[in-house]
Chains A and B, each alone.
Chain A
Amino acid sequence: AQSVTQLDSQVPVFEEAPVELRCNYSSSVSVYLFWYVQYPNQGLQLLLKYTSAATLVKGINGFEAEFKKSETSFHLTKPSAHMSDAAEYFCAVRSSLNTGGFKTIFGAGTRLFVKA
């Protein structure tokens, strides 16, 4: 079964400093990867997705992620953090269901703290 591991439960950064949130996935022939963001008391929102096209994926709010097969990683980055980026971030992977459909499996999350 597919899985993802988020290496940091919390990441503190100063405002305008670069952000990196780390994610490793279990190896597979074909992999679809996602990053979602969750603001307090809200549902999850898709930031970006990798679907076997370009290895560098650009998402919303200035975030991007690079798929590195040799490292089985899909780290999320942003050049300059804003206070509004403070949230919980989830790395996720598509996994096949026995019935032929798919489900999304989420990591445990990384909470990004942005300090002034």
Chain B
Amino acid sequence: DTGVSQDPRHKITKRGQNVTFRCDPISEHNRLYWYRQTLGQGPEFLTYFQNEAQLEKSRLLSDRFSAERPKGSFSTLEIQRTEQGDSAMYLCASSLETGGTMSLIFGPGTRLTVL
């Protein structure tokens, strides 16, 4: 296992289009997180999965955003009717909670540009 992977690495789309990103976590990690990072800011929490269950969603995640993790493996993040304000780096991370230490392993991110 070579770590967390994300696809695509870059996505340029026109306003109003739908986009979907994929994250493949480390196989034995049961927890998966999506974060969004804009220029000059730290990552902001979007949503969290434990196995296949989506347990929490941030208020940042509007109705246009949806995330899934079928069978507790890879995850997808879809943005419908994209807006210019959605332009950001979308980061996926996974972890294996042991004793509460929870170190996140991040993927390289998907950079979204909405024109």
Which residues of A come within 8 Å of B, CB atoms? 9, 32, 34, 36, 41-46, 49, 51, 90, 92, 94, 97-109
Interface residues of B in 27-67 (CB under 8 A from A): 31, 33, 40-45, 48, 50, 55-56
How big is chain B's contact interface, by range?
Answer: 20 to 34
Interface residues of B in 95-115 (CB under 8 A from A): 97, 99-109, 111
Please provide the 4 A-B residue pairs with the shortest distance between their CB atoms, ordered closest to farther.
A106-B42, A43-B106, A99-B55, A44-B106
B104 touches A98 (CB 8 A): no
Which residues of B come within 8 Å of A, CB atoms? 4, 31, 33, 40-45, 48, 50, 55-56, 91, 93, 97, 99-109, 111
A103-B43 contact in complex given A43-B4, A49-B101, C-beta closer than 8 Å: no
User: Of B4, B48, B101, which is within 8 A of A97 by CB?
Assistant: B48
A108-B40 contact in complex given A99-B56, A103-B33, A103-B48, C-beta closer than 8 Å: yes
- The CA of A105 and the CA of B41, in the complex, are separated in Å by 12
